[in-house]
Amino acid sequence: MFQKLSLLIFIFGITNTLQTPTDFKTEQLKHKRVKEAYQEKGADIKQLLKKNDIDSLSLFIRGFKAEETLELWGKNTYNEHYKLLTSYKVCWSPGNLGPKRKQGDYQVPEGFYIIDVFNPESKFHLSLGIDYPNSSDRILGSKQRLGGDIFIHGDCVSVGCIPITDECIKELYIFAVEAKQNGQLNIPVHLFPTRLTDEFITNYNYEDYMTYNHTSFWKNIKKGYDYFETHKTLPNITISDDGTYLFN
């Protein structure tokens, strides 16, 4: 009888755990900085989402090095097209135009990533990590040391990350928490050297920018840039054996 009772308790415990998943937002709000961010920015974010008729948030982040701009796009999960919600000034840009290829090159990555870390206790107030190096970076980059720990964060210092000040990261962090709480498992982050217009590709002279010739790589990622510019939806992205991005 005791064994049967123990088994029932064990099964009930497993079932109860499966039916009550961890509330991501609740866990984040246990951290002082996240709680303060909601107190300071929560009402404004709620109003911005209401203005854009968004009640079931899905996010997309797009960054441009030359323009020192990080764009935040949003939509309802049941809609197809994204709307530009706001943009943030990147307050410090290390390195040059071009992808990150090794540890210590001070470069901000270029390519297609997702948010894979929420850090509510960051040295730079709050931070959101991107999944550099991705499969393309591992093929095209250094075989010895690729580096890592690339974050969008607060403050205004960086050796390869994307700082947008404490005030702005509070807002962006809340948006990301809300999207994940709403069920968005992967928040896409697309990072470009600049707005990849035909004019830029045609007229680009790498010597003027004191960097290497990345034209072939930029022509590749331009296909993803053009797709979103045209459709305001995200392409399906895969990576070939040679590190090239493929777009559906």
| Cβ-contact 61, 187 below 8 angstroms | yes
The length of the chain in residues reads 248
3-state helix, strand, coil in the chain (%, to 5): 35, 25, 40
Query: pLDDT tens per residue, the chain (248 residues)?
Result: 444 444 443 443 444 433 334 699 999 999 999 999 999 999 999 999 999 999 999 999 999 999 999 999 999 999 999 999 999 999 988 788 999 999 988 899 999 999 999 999 999 999 999 999 999 999 999 988 999 999 999 999 987 899 999 999 999 999 999 999 999 999 999 999 999 999 999 888 776 655 678 999 999 999 999 999 999 999 999 999 999 999 98
What pLDDT, on a 0 to 100 scale, did the predictor assign at position 22?
61
Handedness of CA 208, 212, 216, 220 (dihedral sign): negative
Measured distance CA(180)–CA(103) in Å, rounded: 30
Q: What is the 3-state secondary structure (H, E, C) of 37-101?
A: HHHHHHHHHHHHHHHCCCCCEEEEEEEECCCCEEEEEEEECCCCCCEEEEEEECCCCCCCCCCCC
Handedness of CA 69, 202, 213, 218 (dihedral sign): positive
**Active-site annotation, residues:** 153, 161
What pLDDT, on a 0 to 100 scale, did the predictor assign at position 212?
74
Q: Which residues contact 55 (CB under 8 A, 6 or more apart)?
A: 49, 76
CA atoms within 13 A on the CB side of 37: 28
What pLDDT, on a 0 to 100 scale, did the predictor assign at position 4?
44
**pTM summary value:** 0.89
